[in-house]
Amino acid sequence: MKNNKVLLAFLWILFTVSCSSTEDGIENTEDNTEEEITELSLADKNATLETKALYANLWEIQQKGFMFGHHDDLWYGRKWYNEAGRSDTKEVCGDYPAVFSVDFGPIMDDRCLTENGIRENAIRRRVILEAYERGEVIIACMHLNNPLTGGDSWDNSRNDVVKEILKEGSDTNKRFKSWLDRLAEFSSHLKGDKEETIPVILRPFHEHTQTWSWWGSSCTTQNEFINLWHFTVNYLRDTKGVHSFIYAISPQMDSPKTTNDFLYRWPGNDYVDFVGMDSYHGLNPNTLTINAHALSKFSKDIKKPCGITETGVEGIRYPDGSPVTDYWTKQLLTPLVGQTISMVVMWRNAYDPAEEGTHFFSVYKGHASENDFLKFYNDPRTFFSHDLPDMYSMPKKIKVN
């Protein structure tokens, strides 16, 4: 654990002990302060105790700082693949990310039926269990194939995909339901050592503000997107009885935005638990400051935790190809000072042992930003695995309805 955080905790204990006695050395047991309870609300009123506890802790932790996360960090890294216990993050700072991001799309659509899909989904389950056993937070996106055309997530060639999903009894409707069935089945087998179901922050239909996906702005009307969101939540929660999901929306905010932009195609407060933001703003820290401020304000206004659910600069480099050696402190930490967000999640480091490409968004051993990342890691406002409280036990003074 970081030394500065331990020191602060020790000083706080000394302070509280010294204040617990009168000048005569007699303990003062009177407490006339009425505790103020913060009440939060989940879309799933039957959410498991662990899910409610995680939700409460997301709210509490963003009052203190933010968790660092990385997509697929435990599965593969820049120079390694499927080696239990490894992590590009850990090999730099000695600690795992607080948030493990993963993709649920391949466990849902027909990729799960292939030999490669079966093997990879076994790995996916293993690394989720590893993260949870350490007390880390799991967040999942859904890069789903197109259920009408058979194309991938980026197949936006038809604007009637969602229409067909919502048409009860259609082939596309049946296919999409079968995909949700697989998600429910997969999640039901994610169990802790007490047989509790592992909570997951689920990001269905992320970046819906963009045109690239079959669920995006070029293929759906506002009502179609909202109805798709409602259909998905209702089916998982009410039909399949999945009570371990925290539903997160993740618009893509690359240019300066306001709080009103988060209401674009908003499914309603009763259907959204967590407000995310995918931010590929490049090397423009002022844009991140503006958007993180808008996100923080929106989070406070509707009393729902929030976070940056994807971000990064591919290759962590300037346009001329040179590395950004102070990326972590200047491009991430400084813009987020004073903001109220629970997490910042970097996109993946593709497995590329020969280092032929530049598809990586976070640090790894030997990268030029390594020393700057250590400064970022040691800042008391950043939370990694060892810094986390028990994220799955209900904190005091918070109630989740």
Cβ atoms of 373 and 88 closer than 8 Å: no
Tokens of 50: 């662990």
Lowest-confidence segment of 22-26, 131-135, 300-304, 384-388 by average pLDDT: 22-26
Mean per-residue pLDDT for 249-265?
97
Residue 35 vs residue 353, higher pLDDT: 353
pTM of the model: 0.92
Element (H, E) at 249: strand 245-249
pLDDT tens readout for residues 265-277: 999 999 999 999 9
Residue 2 has a pLDDT of 65
Residue 35's pLDDT is 67
Give CA–CA dist 262/49, Å, rounded: 29
Across 178-194, average pLDDT: 97
Question: Does 261 fall in a domain?
Answer: yes
Q: What is the pLDDT of residue 237?
A: 98
**Domain count within the chain:** 1
Measuring CA to CA, how many Å separate 132 from each of 50, 60, 80, 129?
Answer: 11, 19, 22, 5
214-223 average pLDDT score:
97
Distances from the Cα of 135 to the Cα of 158, 217, 387, angstroms:
42, 37, 10
Burial class of residue 62 in the structure, from the number of CB atoms within 10 Å of its CB (0-12 exposed, 13-18 middle, 19+ buried)? buried
Which residue do the tokens 């963009």 mark? 210
Q: Which residues, in sequence order, are CB contacts of 365 under 8 Å at separation 6+?
A: 88, 91, 92
| Residue 20 forms part of a structural domain | no
- Integer-rounded Cα Rg, in Å, for the chain is 22
For the stretch 176-215, what's the b/e string if a residue is b when 16 or more beta carbons lie within 10 angstroms of its beta carbon?
bbebbebbbebbeebeeeeebbbbbbbbbbbbbbbeebbb
The token duo for 356 is: 């032929």
Q: What is the pLDDT of residue 33?
A: 47
Residues of the chain with pLDDT > 70, as a percent, come to 91
Q: CATH number, domain at 314?
A: 3.20.20.80
Task: Give the pairing type, strands 306-311 and 137-141.
Answer: unpaired
Domain residue limits at 129: 38-400
Whether the pLDDT of residue 34 is over 90: the answer is no
* Mean pLDDT value across the chain: 93
Q: Does 11 fall in a domain? A: no
What is the band of 5 on the pLDDT scale with cuts at 50, 70, 90? low
Residue 313 lies in a domain: yes
Assigned domain for 31 exists = no
- Give domain status of residue 180, yes or no: yes
- Per-residue confidence (pLDDT) for residue 363, from 0 to 100: 98
**Phi and psi angles of residue 245, each rounded to the nearest 5 degrees, phi first:** -105, 140
21: confidence class by pLDDT, cuts 50, 70, 90: very low
Tell whether 23 is covered by a domain: no
**CA gap 261, 231 in Å, rounded:** 23
Q: Is residue 219 part of a domain?
A: yes
